[in-house]
Amino acid sequence: MADGPLRSNLPPLELHVPEPRSRPGDPVDFSDVIVPAAGSMARPDEAVSPHDMRDLSFGLVRVLDDDHKAVGAWDPRLPAETLLKMLRTMALTRAFDERLYRAQRQGKTSFYMKCTGEEATSVAAAAAMQGDDMVFPSYRQQGILMWRGYALTEMINQIYSNRGDKLKGRQLPIMYSVPELSFFTISGNLATQYPQAVGWAMASAIKGDTRIASCWCGEGSTAEGDFHSAMTFASVYNAPTILNVVNNQWAISSFSGFAGAERTTFAARAIGYGIAGLRVDGNDALAVYAATQWAAERARSNKGPTLIEHFTYRAEGHSTSDDPSAYRSAQESAEWPLGDPIHRLKQHVIGLGIWDDERHAAMDLELAEMVKAATKQAEKNGVLGHGMHQPFETMFEDVFEELPWHLQEQMAQALEERAAKWPK
């Protein structure tokens, strides 16, 4: 090591390495999580200057109070129909995750990722946007497809990489692509969708369109350069974008401190860029709806982009390849101070007298059956474990619009190899 000038009268410098408050076997400590009362945050006009709404980047927009009543200025006052549709879609997302997670365990596919506990951050956000607003999701926003009515069998075909998979078995499971529902193709490379969403929104503005764009990433991914490039462009060009950060506390085994959460909030990242920043209770579907609606209105009226931090908790493992019990206290998810988003919305609609436990139990059964039926349907097209469902030609299609000579040669080679392997 280089010999620095040793000045014995100075204290040695120290490196700070963040450490979460609890590890496996420890009692859970959420004392650092400050939960302001529902309804306590002001709701500025959508046209407000980012400078005049700084406290919204540090507080927590909450609508549902401890008794599951909607209170305060952010209450979106949704009709019963919308509330019940959100509840149903969130429950469907969970039922789907349960079943497909099990399918992975049964060897029907290679990989799966659940969004348990985070259903509101996609479903309620989708509910507050127009159906043709473009979304650039990360890999836990299956709720958007559910909200937009995508066929479950199509999703499962993709997960199984089977004959029916319209992505020709190329993508990892859950990395959907549904342009007809304005759902951008998902990338496994974190945060790359962020500048792309801003670019799409800029294009929409260049063309004088009315559609806005929205993107999602995890709090861990905010450390990527792409996130910051996107923020700069969104700010410079006032791009009509909603930039969502789903702060679910964990990025695989790394807690949010490794993305900078010890110093400031993720919503406050907006401040340095002169962008509007909102921090919301991500387990409160009404708060997510209200914040998204606010941001969408702001973007649509050319008032600028909004960064929304959804403060939530990843109740399950990162993916089927993960074992969360190896790095976090088992009690965390049960003791998460903001509860469960489905339970909270359910209690809210029950309180309104438009729902009850019996109907909810019946709905859960119905949704489980629906997913099961869709799974059976998709399995008719095969599952990943049963071999290579796509014709070998498909491997070479779509690399370019037209097949160049070298890919033609390689395609011929692949077909020859297939004939050698499985002589018919």
Ligand X SMILES: Cc1ncc(C[n+]2csc(CCOP(=O)(O)OP(=O)(O)O)c2C)c(N)n1
250 binds, among other proteins, ligand X, none (CB under 5 to 8 A by kind): ligand X
Q: Of 244, 314, 308, give the one whose Cα is nearest residue 280.
A: 308
Query: Which lies closer to other proteins via its Cβ, residue 36 or residue 257?
Result: 257
State the Cα–Cα distance between residues 397 and 210, nearest whole angstrom: 34
287 binds other proteins (CB under 8 A): no
Strand pairing of 254-255 and 250-251?
A: antiparallel
221-240 binders of ligand X (CB under 6 A): 221
Strand pairing of 306-311 and 276-281?
A: parallel
- Token pair for residue 69? 């009543």
218 binds ligand X (CB under 6 A): yes
Amino acid letter at 404? P
Interface residue with other proteins among 87, 120, 190, 270 (CB under 8 A) is 190
Q: Which residues contact 265 (CB under 8 A, 6 or more apart)?
A: 57, 58, 279, 309
248 binds ligand X (CB under 6 A): yes
10 binds other proteins (CB under 8 A): no
188 binds other proteins (CB under 8 A): yes
Find the shortest distance in angstroms from Cβ 48 to ligand X.
29
**How many Cβ atoms sit within 10 Å of the Cβ of residue 334?**
10
314 binds ligand X (CB under 6 A): yes
Query: Which lies closer to ligand X via its Cβ, residue 111 or residue 392?
Result: 111
185-204 binders of ligand X (CB under 6 A): 188-190
Residue pair 100/161 in contact by the 8 Å Cβ criterion: no
156 binds, among other proteins, ligand X, none (CB under 5 to 8 A by kind): none
Stretches 115-123, 145-153, 372-380, 414-422: which one binds other proteins (CB under 8 A)?
414-422
Instruction: Please measure the distance between the N-terminal and C-terminal CA atoms of the chain and give it in whole angstroms.
Output: 66
Query: Which lies closer to other proteins via its Cβ, residue 18 or residue 274?
Result: 18
403 binds other proteins (CB under 8 A): no
384 binds other proteins (CB under 8 A): yes
140 binds, among ligand X, other proteins, none (CB under 5 to 8 A by kind): ligand X
Alpha helix (H) residue ranges in 4-141? 55-58, 80-105, 119-128
Query: Which lies closer to other proteins via its Cβ, residue 158 or residue 283?
Result: 158
Stretches 245-253, 300-308, 320-328, 397-405: which one binds ligand X (CB under 6 A)?
245-253
Task: Tell the residue number behind the tokens 């014995």, with chain if given.
Answer: 8
133 binds ligand X (CB under 6 A): no
Residue 173 buriedness (CB in 10 A; 0-12 / 13-18 / 19+) = buried
Query: Which lies closer to other proteins via its Cβ, residue 232 or residue 254?
Result: 254
Q: Which residues contact 46 (CB under 8 A, 6 or more apart)?
A: 294, 297, 298, 301, 303
State the Cα–Cα distance between residues 69 and 284, nearest whole angstrom: 11
Find the shortest distance in angstroms from Cβ 311 to ligand X.
13
278 binds, among ligand X, other proteins, none (CB under 5 to 8 A by kind): none
318 binds ligand X (CB under 6 A): yes
418 binds other proteins (CB under 8 A): yes
Residue pair 185/175 in contact by the 8 Å Cβ criterion: yes
Stretches 50-58, 163-171, 211-219, 409-417: which one binds ligand X (CB under 6 A)?
211-219
